[in-house]
Amino acid sequence: MNHTKETMTRQVGLGKTLQTSLYEIERKATKNKKHKFENLYQLLNRQNLIKAYRDINKQASSGIDGQSAKEFGENLIEEVTKIEEELKTNRYRTSLVKRTYIEKPGGGQRPLGIPTVKDKTIQIATKKILEAIYEPEFIESSMGYRKNRGAKQAVEYLGKELNFGKYTYIVEADIKGFFDNVNHQWLKRMLEEKVRDKRIITLIEKWLKAGIIEPTGEIEKPQKGTPQGGAISPILANRYLHYALDLWFEKIVEPKSEGECKLARYADDFVCAFRYKRDAERFMKTLGKRLGKFGLTLAEEKTKMIRFSRFEKEKNDTFDFLGFTFRWEKSRKGKDIITHKTSKKGFKRTIQKFKEWIRKTRHCRLMKMFKELNTKLRGYNRK
């Protein structure tokens, strides 16, 4: 009992050490935009790996080794001590990534890559370091995979901008298979701009190059992309699009536009608003070329410009963003307002999720089901 208490006390204290380190990193990154960070690899120690493990979703699917997060946690100290030693002595090797597929609401399947708990633990610890470095650089309109930001904030941000800004046209754009087409060389250059610790870069390259095993048993050796499902992928995606899209829009598109313009991005899902049609058309002409420079392709059939003005509502189209349909309407007091309601696709997606949940929990006790159902319904009503 005393040994357990002592271990937990030691872990809590060392957890604070990580927070202090991350705070110092973020403070330096905020104060000096050109600061190059070194000696980051040493933060991947036992104490910080324990903290990273705590952030893992314990209900998530297991990786190729079949070990669950719960099983890993039963021998946590032993497991992370082993990882720490492997990292120190450069003996760490990534495991194969297990490929699974989930149904997309509009048809088709979305591939996910499930790493082992061991790999996921190291990825989370590394992700925390990268977030502390790059977060101060990310622009306000980038909402996905960021602390205290999410889909809800992205929808509210866009609605507020459209309500109070002078915008007449919306450009809806879709990047074809973004996560599967991230160029590794470009990503490395983007990371190295602020990370001068080669061991961290090498570690990330190992995850990017890790073999992916299909349900059929076939093994793929990726030359590009970062698997959705990996804990490290979100921060890598944000870093990539920060350069490929966000900075370009902020430094080039906005200054060259004659009227107001605004970008709202959540991961690889984004829309742009413009006051003048000529600005929107110029943006559409150059967007494909810009993304193409970084190995990305627009889905032409999903990329379009629509009129979206408070002054000619009868001529307006609507557009969807993150499962919500945006439109201009009159309030009860006769004021022009932007409304956003669950889109048809979003509603179908919600129904599909409920069906899957019912199928998985049909053998559970009713009281447990009712409690979880109430939580889900409250969450849906808050959307």
Note the pTM of the prediction, 2 decimals.
Answer: 0.85
Tracing tokens 């998985």 back to the chain, one arrives at: 360
Are 204 and 184 in contact by the 8 Å Cβ rule? The answer is no
Paired tokens of 145: 């995979």
For residues 248 and 294, what is the distance between their CA atoms, to the nearest angstrom?
12
Q: Please provide the DSSP assignment of 201-241 as one string.
A: HHHHHHHHH--EE-TTS-EE--SS---BTBTTHHHHHHHHH
Alpha helix ranges (H) inside 135-223? 151-164, 184-192, 198-209
Strands 324-330 and 336-342, bridge-based pairing = antiparallel
| pLDDT tens track, the chain, 383 positions | 344 343 433 443 444 455 668 999 999 999 999 999 999 999 999 999 999 999 999 988 899 999 999 999 999 999 999 999 999 999 999 999 999 998 876 667 889 999 999 999 999 999 999 999 999 999 999 999 998 888 999 999 999 999 999 999 999 999 999 999 999 999 999 999 999 999 999 999 999 999 999 999 999 999 999 989 999 999 999 999 999 999 999 999 999 999 999 999 999 999 999 999 999 999 999 999 999 999 999 998 889 999 998 877 677 789 999 989 999 988 888 888 888 888 656 555 666 666 666 666 766 766 666 666 666 555 544 44
- Residue 175: Cβ-neighbour burial (10 angstroms; 0-12, 13-18, 19+): buried
Return the bridge partners of 328, or none: 338
Paired tokens of 222: 């990726």
Are 15 and 51 in contact by the 8 Å Cβ rule? The answer is yes
Can you say how many angstroms the Cα of residue 77 is from the centroid of all Cα atoms in its chain? 29
Residue type, position 357, single letter: W
Residues 141-181+232-342, CATH architecture:
2-Layer Sandwich (3.30)
- Domains in the chain: boundaries: 18-137+184-223, 141-181+232-342, 348-382
